[in-house]
Amino acid sequence: MNVRVLLRTSALLVAVGLIAVGIFQPIEAEGRWLLFLWAAAPLLGVAAWLTVPPTVPSLARNVGNIGLVILIGFALLSLQLLRQQVLYADTIYHHVAVAADGSTTSNVRPVINSQRILRGRMFDRKGTLLADRTSVQGFAHRTYPIAERYDPAIFGHVLGFFSTRYGQSGLESFYNTYLTGERGNELERLRERLVGGTPQGNDLTLTLNADLQAAASAALGGRVGSVVVLDPRTGAILALVSQPSFDPRGLTFNPAAASWEAENLRVSQYWQQLIADGSQQPLVNRATQGLYPPGSTFKSLTAIAALEYAAEGQPDTITCPNTFLPQPDAPPIVNAVPNLAGLTGDPSDLERVFAYSCNTAFAQYALRLGPERMSEIARRFDILPPQRGTTNYAGFRELPTAQSLLYVEPGFLNMPRALADTGYGQGQLLVTPLHMALLTAAIGNEGVMMQPYLVQRITRPDGGQITSHVPRPIRRTMDTNTARIMVQHMGAVAAYGFGSSVDNFTPAGVTVGGKSGTAEHVPGARPHAWFIALAPLEAPRFAVAVMVESGGEGSSVGAELAGRVLGAAFATE
Amino acid sequence: MAERTHKPDYLLLATVGSLVAFGLVMIYSSSFVEGYNLHNNQYYYLLRQMVGAAIGTVGLLVAQRIDYRMWRKYSIHLMAACIGLLVLVLILPASITEVNNSRSWIRLGEGGVFGLFSVQPAEIAKLIIIIYFADWLSRRSEKVGNVTYGLIPFAVMMGLIFGLVMLQPDLGTGVVLVLIGGSIYFAAGARVWHILGAIGLAVASFWFLISVAGYRNARIMAFQDPEKYYSTFGFQPTHALYALGSGGIFGQGLGQARQKFQWLPQAHTDTIYAIIGEELGLVGTVLVLIAFAIIAYRGYRIAGRAPNPFASLVAVGITSWITLQAFINLGVTTSLLPFTGLTLPFVSYGSTSLYMNMIAIGVLLNISKHTSQHQPEEITDAPRIRPRPKLAFLNNLAVWRGHGRARLPGFGSGHRYRRR
């Protein structure tokens, strides 16, 4: 009899243990839970069978045994219901199933709920309404009132699209919980839950200047590239243009359409058009996700390194030979312009080799400093070696942003030629336009790099403020003095160096500084045109980075574009 | 004592009645979208089910008045008719019989009055094999454990019916038929090793079947990983899961399910439980589960107290049929079992299934009139005060007239005790 009790207790314990462990398996491991559950079933049967005192075999006893099997089956059902309707109900509700061919399925309920919510509006820094919403027979419709003045595609990458079929991007995605009202307005949600009503989201006020954004986009014209304008003092993003772009209206379902089928077809056709081969990837935000070699604009970082480590770098003891051979077994480094020493003088100083963008001089600085110091300075600007970098840049999360890299292959900088190339902005450098704007802004803000941001304020529908962005420094990247010297050197570029056309479009009396970049990416192809600029130099209010893919010379194409953007920045301020 | 009858099991009757009424509500809720889309009539499925419920109610009332011993007399005739019907469904032109690639129905027309009525011979077969096997096994109580006289004839008969159903093909119904037969055979006193051997053989042949019929193999795989096979066979489990998860504890409210809007296939038949889960939440699903648990409890209790082995085996068969089919349906909906098409007794759409279930309950109720009130070990010599049954109030409900004799409400139990 004792053996029976022991067996019964142990079978019961094992079964309960299996179920207890299994029921908390995540919903993805459903197979494991079912295995545990079915393994527990015969154990429960044994336990129950041992509980009933043995009697002579009879029809009634057989019937009892069948009933026992049914009872255990119902117990399994109850456990499965407990798991699916209580423990993991919320997870299942939001679960997105991914099929083998990559297609996904989600619950239709949250999708329909999202269509009912009046998403929050988005304003620019001057209060211009960028994105609005209307209600059509209970269905919310995202509209873009800015279309009356500018093409909404100009704002596509920043605002993002909102599609019930293709999801969200940009700020629509990052601030989704605020825009739906899920966060920031919990009391109101509770009230709606109890007494009903149309849920209304919270409004965003951006740092963007819609007029500047439109002017920057116009200056870029039809070219592929990007423009970033920051306020160096705060890190506020005033303009962020990436072309080609997409029209968020194209992906927004309009419930007022006469035929919903035709409307769905229009949306899916526009999507197919966006993702088609040869469409130049309009869904990629080049300003934050585009990784390019920065070309000579990176010389500003090498210059900062030489100034910070003046003993090793010796910034004002430099020459600008026509060729420089850092490694005997590698081809020599040459300047973009022959006989540059005629312009820089020989011996020269940092200001002149910076203004005339002398490759051989910056190759020498890099070699003098060595890989550790170069890496250390780059790290201050969050330009990281691949081992330390993550896929996304942690300093700016509002839009999908790539991490800028100092090099790609580990150990790359240990080769003298590679280090020298990195010194003047080639090598394996991969930098986003936003990151070059951050570097420029840090120079303009006396060496303190501010965290970039796009959303200034989030307000409730009744106008109450939920959060407001307080400017936050990322870190001090250089000495104040270094920053002042760098500002002067950038001024020299505009005054007499390569890229002096940058101040052609700014109001008279405004001093402008900058640095051009002509980045080679594929041998034989037209180089990428870069330009970084700061203005006014006495107290910089604008830090600009422009980049035109395969645009040509940075000192001409880049400088003109940056100049126009700066001009617009002053005009629309 | 066997000649004296008493009142039928009212709790069982009340449970079944509630389930049928609840089923009609849920059928309308889960089928109006599909009815409107396919037939331009949101009441399309509800009307047909109401016809089934009407036939079923009449059938139940008639069956509970027919003495269960009558079925025994005609068990061979019924079996012959059943095999005839199962063959007929395979011979008749596909236009009459075929729905969803299964030749399971005999339909008398698409529209009009006859369109409201169709017959599914396999559903009728379930009740008939119960009667047949109960009769057959109770006649040879000594020989049930014998291979030559017990197991082999039983297996041959079972195999014939199963084979005919599999030719339609309808795996779900086939499995239920085997389970019904198996439970009667077990209750009749089969040797345990016979049962184990049969289970082994069944598993082997099941494996053979699913590897021959490719689509069921895919269903097994979809059961293991519904998302991977989403576009083909994982579709139904995935959306059933969404329905149950969305329902949560209290549900979204009656009529508020979303998965029935052409997301969840067969929302009004095989997966109606998922819609119950989405609309009424855990409260609704557990109540349905409890209802079937009550049926199981009362059904097996009737079987245990039945006056003779035939009655007992019929009761076992009917109870096992309803509860096992419910278990498989609920198990499939909650992804506990691989996907197979089976209806939820009394609740799912399917008029033949509904009225055959109700007729079977009628037979069970008739047997409940003949049960002995106490099991032998409960009887003592001491004077005994009979406790008033907890659910005695059901006796006072005016829905049932007993044997047509007038009853005095309130004194029912004591009065009855003295009379015996």
Domain presence at residue B316:
yes
Report pLDDT for B111.
56
Angle ∠(B147,B152,B158) on CA atoms, nearest 5: 140
Q: Which residues of B touch A74 (CB under 8 A)?
A: 289, 292-293, 296, 327
**Distance between B71 CA and the closest CA of chain A, angstroms:** 21
Q: What is the per-residue pLDDT across B115-129, written as a single tens digit (0 to 9) for each?
A: 667 788 888 899 999
Tokens of B409: 């409400």
CB B56 within 8 A of CB B20: yes
Tokens of A219: 């200056």
DSSP A54: P
CA A509 to CA B286: how far, in whole Å?
A: 80
Pick from B67, B22, B41: nearest CA to B369 = B67
Which residue has 């617009």 as its token pair?
A568
Do the Cβ atoms of A109 and B246 come within 8 Å?
A: yes
Give the one of A85, A91, A95 whose C-beta lies nearest to B249's C-beta.
Answer: A85
Domain presence at residue B331:
yes
Whole domain around residue B34: which residue ranges?
A: 10-369
Q: Which residues of B touch A60 (CB under 8 A)?
A: 303-305, 312, 375
Exposure letters B222-248 (e unless 16+ CB within 10 A, then b): bbeebbbbbeebbbbbbbbbbbbbbbb
- In angstroms and rounded to an integer, the radius of gyration of the C-alpha atoms of chain B is 22
Paired sense of beta strands A542-548 and B98-99, if any: unpaired
Q: If chain A, 573 residues long, is cut into consecutive pieces of 10 residues, what is the mean pLDDT of each piece?
A: 84 92 84 89 88 78 88 92 89 78 75 84 94 88 93 95 87 92 81 76 94 96 95 96 94 88 92 89 94 95 95 91 88 88 88 93 94 94 86 91 93 92 93 96 95 95 91 95 95 91 89 93 91 94 96 92 95 90
Beta-carbon contacts of B209 under 8 Å, excluding residues fewer than 6 positions away, are B166, B171, B216
Domains in chain A, start-ordered, CATH in brackets? 3-97 (no CATH), 108-206+247-281 (3.90.1310.10), 289-572 (3.40.710.10)
Question: Judged by CB atoms within 8 Å, which residues 109-168 of B form the interface with A?
Answer: none
Q: Which residues of B touch A30 (CB under 8 A)?
A: 226, 335
CA atoms within 13 A on the CB side of B30: 31
Kindly state whether A86 is in contact with chain B, defined as any CB-CB distance less than 8 angstroms. yes
Question: Judged by CB atoms within 8 Å, which residues 292-351 of B form the interface with A?
Answer: 292-293, 296-297, 300, 303-305, 309, 312-313, 316, 320, 323-324, 327, 330-331, 334-336
Residues in chain B: 420
Helix (H, G, I), strand (E, B) or coil at A66: helix
Question: Judged by CB atoms within 8 Å, which residues 243-262 of B form the interface with A?
Answer: 244-249, 252, 258-259, 261
The dihedral through the CA atoms of B290, B296, B299, B300 has a sign that is: negative
Q: Which residues of A touch B331 (CB under 8 A)?
A: 73, 76-77, 80
Helix (H, G, I), strand (E, B) or coil at B145: coil
Do the Cβ atoms of B226 and A74 come within 8 Å?
A: no
Helix (H, G, I), strand (E, B) or coil at B166: helix
Give the one of A70, A77, A99 whose C-beta lies nearest to B228's C-beta.
Answer: A99
Q: Which residues of B touch A88 (CB under 8 A)?
A: 245
CA A377 to CA A301: how far, in whole Å?
A: 8
Domain presence at residue B396:
no
Give the one of A63, A78, A88 whose C-beta lies nearest to B245's C-beta.
Answer: A88
CA B123 to CA B134: how far, in whole Å?
A: 18
DSSP B151: I
Kindly state whether A42 is in contact with chain B, defined as any CB-CB distance less than 8 angstroms. no
**Residue ranges in chain B whose pLDDT is less than 50:** 1-2, 230-232, 376-382, 398-420
Do the Cβ atoms of B186 and A90 come within 8 Å?
A: no
CB A555 within 8 A of CB A491: no
Q: Which residues of A touch B238 (CB under 8 A)?
A: 97, 105
CB A248 within 8 A of CB A159: yes
Which residue of chain A comes nearest to B184, CA vs CA? Answer: A63
> Residue A318: left (phi > 0), alpha (psi -120 to 50), or beta?
beta
CB A505 within 8 A of CB A514: no
Its ipTM equals 0.82
Report pLDDT for B225.
56
Q: H helices within A309-348, ranges in order?
A: 310-313, 341-344
Do the Cβ atoms of A81 and B286 come within 8 Å?
A: yes
Do the Cβ atoms of B300 and A66 come within 8 Å?
A: yes
Mean pLDDT of chain B: 80
DSSP string, A81-134: HHIIIIISHHHHHH-EEE-TTS-EEE-HHHHHHHHHSBPPPEE-TT--EEEEEE
Do the Cβ atoms of A85 and B244 come within 8 Å?
A: yes
CA atoms within 13 A on the CB side of B365: 28
Do the Cβ atoms of A84 and B323 come within 8 Å?
A: no
Paired sense of beta strands A203-206 and A122-123, if any: parallel
- Mutating which of B323, B324, B367 best tests the A interface, going by the most A Cβ atoms within 10 A? B323
| Helix and strand numbers, DSSP H then E, in chain B | 15, 4
Helix/strand/coil (H/E/C) assignment for every residue in A395-433: CCCCCCCECCECCCCCCHHHCHHHHHHHHCCCCCCEECH
Q: CA-based diameter of chain B, in Å?
A: 69
- DSSP H/E element including A70: helix A59-82
Kindly state whether B49 is in contact with chain A, defined as any CB-CB distance less than 8 angstroms. no
Kindly state whether A96 is in contact with chain B, defined as any CB-CB distance less than 8 angstroms. no
CA A38 to CA A73: how far, in whole Å?
A: 10
**Distance between B283 CA and the closest CA of chain A, angstroms:** 10
CA B34 to CA A59: how far, in whole Å?
A: 47
When divided into structural domains, chain B yields a total of 1
Which residue of chain B comes nearest to A32, CA vs CA? Answer: B224
Helix/strand/coil (H/E/C) assignment for every residue in B178-204: HHHHHHHHHHCCCCHHHHHHHHHHHHH
Give the one of B241, B258, B300 whose C-beta lies nearest to A84's C-beta.
Answer: B241
Q: H helices within B263-308, ranges in order?
A: 272-304
Q: Which residues of A touch B227 (CB under 8 A)?
A: 97-99, 105
The dihedral through the CA atoms of B393, B395, B398, B399 has a sign that is: positive
**Distance between A188 CA and the closest CA of chain B, angstroms:** 21
Domain presence at residue B412:
no
CB B34 within 8 A of CB B349: no
Q: Which residues of B touch A89 (CB under 8 A)?
A: 244-249
Which residue of chain B comes nearest to A27, CA vs CA? Answer: B241
Do the Cβ atoms of B189 and A57 come within 8 Å?
A: yes
CA A449 to CA A233: how far, in whole Å?
A: 9
Q: How far lies A505's CA from each of A219, A533, A563, in Å?
A: 12, 13, 6
Q: Which residues of A touch B312 (CB under 8 A)?
A: 59-60, 63
CB A450 within 8 A of CB A471: yes
Domain presence at residue B406:
no
Instruction: Give the long-range contacts of residues B224-228, CB within 8 A, separation 24 or more.
Output: B224/A31, B225/A31, B226/A30, B226/A97, B226/B335, B227/A97, B227/A98, B227/A99, B227/A105, B228/A99, B228/A100
Residues in chain A: 573
Domain presence at residue B384:
no
Do the Cβ atoms of A108 and B258 come within 8 Å?
A: yes
Q: Report how far apart the first and last C-alpha atoms of chain A are (Å, whole number).
A: 92
Beta-carbon contacts of B377 under 8 Å, excluding residues fewer than 6 positions away, are none
CB A147 within 8 A of CB A136: no
Report pLDDT for B110.
59
- Mutating which of A49, A77, A95, A106 best tests the B interface, going by the most B Cβ atoms within 10 A? A77
Which residue of chain A comes nearest to B278, CA vs CA? Answer: A85
**Distance between B191 CA and the closest CA of chain A, angstroms:** 11
CA A398 to CA A122: how far, in whole Å?
A: 14
- Between B272-304 and B235-247, two packed helices, what is the crossing angle to 10 degrees? 90
Q: Which residues of B touch A59 (CB under 8 A)?
A: 187-189, 303-304, 309, 312-313
**Distance between B320 CA and the closest CA of chain A, angstroms:** 8
Kindly report the backbone phi and psi dihedral angles of residue A475, in degrees, each rounded to the nearest multiple of 5, phi listed first: -175, 165
Beta-carbon contacts of A264 under 8 Å, excluding residues fewer than 6 positions away, are A165, A253
Domain presence at residue B381:
no
CA B27 to CA B22: how far, in whole Å?
A: 9
Helix (H, G, I), strand (E, B) or coil at A277: coil
- Mutating which of A58, A63, A83 best tests the B interface, going by the most B Cβ atoms within 10 A? A63
Helix (H, G, I), strand (E, B) or coil at A154: helix
Kindly state whether A53 is in contact with chain B, defined as any CB-CB distance less than 8 angstroms. no
CA B130 to CA B132: how far, in whole Å?
A: 5
Which residue of chain B comes nearest to A33, CA vs CA? Answer: B336
- Mutating which of A62, A101, A111 best tests the B interface, going by the most B Cβ atoms within 10 A? A62
CA B162 to CA B83: how far, in whole Å?
A: 11
Q: Which residues of B touch A80 (CB under 8 A)?
A: 331, 334-336
Domain presence at residue B285:
yes
Question: Judged by CB atoms within 8 Å, which residues 87-116 of B form the interface with A?
Answer: none
CA A287 to CA A290: how far, in whole Å?
A: 6
- Mutating which of B327, B332, B375 best tests the A interface, going by the most A Cβ atoms within 10 A? B327
